[in-house]
Chain A
Amino acid sequence: MCGATEGGLSLDGVNVAKEAVIQGQVTRVVDGQTEPVPNAYVRLLDATGEFTAEVPTSASGHFRFFAGNGEWTLRTLAPKADPVDRTVQAAVGSVAEVAIAV
């Protein structure tokens, strides 16, 4: 493999050289501790703000998209939190890591 599983989710069977991966982890601070948020929803919006995809976070708070070259926005919805928007640049053959705190 190409060492792209930084975010914790397996990339087995995916040719990452042909994909523009955006991935990361959603966390929140509880009682001074940073904890993963496993029941959040991360939405991928394109450069015009149009919805492209949505994934629920994994048990460890991780998420992943296969996008295309260019700028994207990640909109994260989590229980008892306001939505959080983060912009990210993606490129084919690379992995963009995004840490999101809600």
Chain B
Amino acid sequence: MSREDSLVTVQWVEDNLDTPGIVLIEVDEDTSAYDKGHIRGAIKLDWSADLQDQVRRDFLNKTQFEALLSARGVSNDDTVVLYGGNNNWFAAYAYWYFTLYGHRDVKLMDGGRKRWELDSRELTDELPVRAATTYVASDQDTSIRAFRDEVVAAIGVQNIVDVRSPDEYAGRLLAPAHLPQEQAQRAGHIPTSVNVPWSKNANDDGTFKSDADLTKLYDEVGFDQDKDTIALCRIGERSSLTWFVLDQLLGHKNVKNYDGSWTEYGALVGVPIVLGDEPGQAEEA
């Protein structure tokens, strides 16, 4: 993968609003953002109501995902272009999710909703009508999804990139600062994990930094290109964006997103945790 395969500009999107075979999908942390105005023709996926199992803590299974995309009128052959707020945080999560289920052609709109809005480009409240399809998903590609046991096993062995803000990493905050802080899990980070806040991947306007700047960013924390990598955050959304950068933009091999992330790890009984700004050491077995 490369930047050309996985990113499109806001101008490209504006130029292709009427091109058949392209489906724009808005996925926002603020799930009401779409209803206040969206790019013409875009449909909405709600990361919480649409993309999560509503009983257990997991994603939709293959059958549920097929039913969702079929009902929303997305075809296997469509080019899916995702965008959202907050540097494409949740749009990147949807990108990873579509990739997990094997969608062939999926792209992010660079800069997301913010870049579009800061350009004063047009938003509409008109809802598009899309005919239902018969979407067929692949089995989950677990080569990009990490589970808790492999995360514990990766301590001191793989690159573990914790993409939360420095205060969350150190244990001074338990959630991003626009969310209430009271949480059940312990604060801190996984021993040997390095902190590269997800926001460092993007410019202020939400567009991604250049490949050279991104490479430098990870080199500076001692990212080892010969090792496999696991990215985590609090609930697996911000780390989807880092997965996107490492895997799709920079082309690193064997990068996984740990969607359980800190809300799972910090609630596990008996696993090691480090407090403070330093990565810390792996414990002796």
A residues engaging B (CB < 8 A)?
A: 14-15, 18-19, 39, 41, 43-44, 46, 48, 50-56, 59, 64-68, 75, 77-80, 83
Q: Which residue of A lies closest to B176 (CB)?
A: A53
CB distance from A78 to the nearest CB of B (A): 8
With known contacts A46-B165, A52-B165, A68-B173, A77–B178 Cβ distance under 8 A:
no
* Cross-chain contact of A55 among B87, B166, B178 (Cβ < 8 A): B178
Q: Which residues of chain B from 102 to 141 have any CB-CB distance to chain A below 8 Å in the complex?
A: 114, 117-120
- Complex: A43 Cα to B30 Cα, angstroms: 15
Contact A79 B118 (CB under 8 A): yes
User: Could you say which residues of chain B place their CB within 8 Å of the CB of A55?
Assistant: 30, 178
Known: A19-B180, A44-B178, A66-B179. A53 touches B117 (CB 8 A): no
* CB of B148 to closest CB in A, whole Å: 26
A-B contact pairs, 17 of them (CB 8 A): A14-B180, A15-B182, A19-B181, A43-B204, A50-B166, A51-B199, A51-B200, A55-B30, A56-B85, A65-B177, A65-B178, A66-B178, A67-B173, A68-B167, A77-B205, A79-B117, A79-B119
Instruction: Determine if B86 and A54 form an interchain contact, defined as CB atoms under 8 angstroms apart.
Output: yes
Specify which of A39, A44, A78, A79 is in contact with B177 (CB 8 Å cutoff).
A44
A contact residues around B36 at 8 Å (CB): 59
B51 at interface, CB cutoff 8 A: no
Q: Is the CB of B33 within 8 A of A46?
A: no
**B30 to A56, Cβ gap below 8 A?**
yes
Residues of B participating in the A interface, judged by any CB pair closer than 8 Å = 30, 33, 36, 85-87, 114, 117-120, 165-167, 172-173, 175-182, 197, 199-200, 204-205
Minimal beta-carbon separation of B147 from chain A (angstroms): 28
Q: Cα distance A39–B36 when bound, in Å?
A: 10
Q: Residue B181 contacts which of A18, A41, A54, A77 (CB distance < 8 angstroms)?
A: A18
Question: Would you call A52 and B182 a contact (CB within 8 A)?
Answer: no
Per a CB cutoff under 8 Å, which of A54, A64, A75 touches B87? A54
The one of B119, B166, B181, B182 in contact with A48, judged by C-beta atoms closer than 8 angstroms, is: B166
Tell whether A46 pairs with B166 under 8 Å between CB atoms, given A41-B114, A51-B200, A59-B36: yes
Bound Cα distance A52, B86 (Å)? 11
Option from A18, A64, A78 in Cβ contact (under 8 Å) with B178: A64
Taking CB as reference atom, which chain A residue is nearest B164? A52
Query: Given A66-B178, A67-B177, is A52 in contact with B87 using a C-beta cutoff of 8 Å?
Result: no
Measured between beta carbons, the chain A residues less than 8 angstroms from B165 are: 46, 50-53
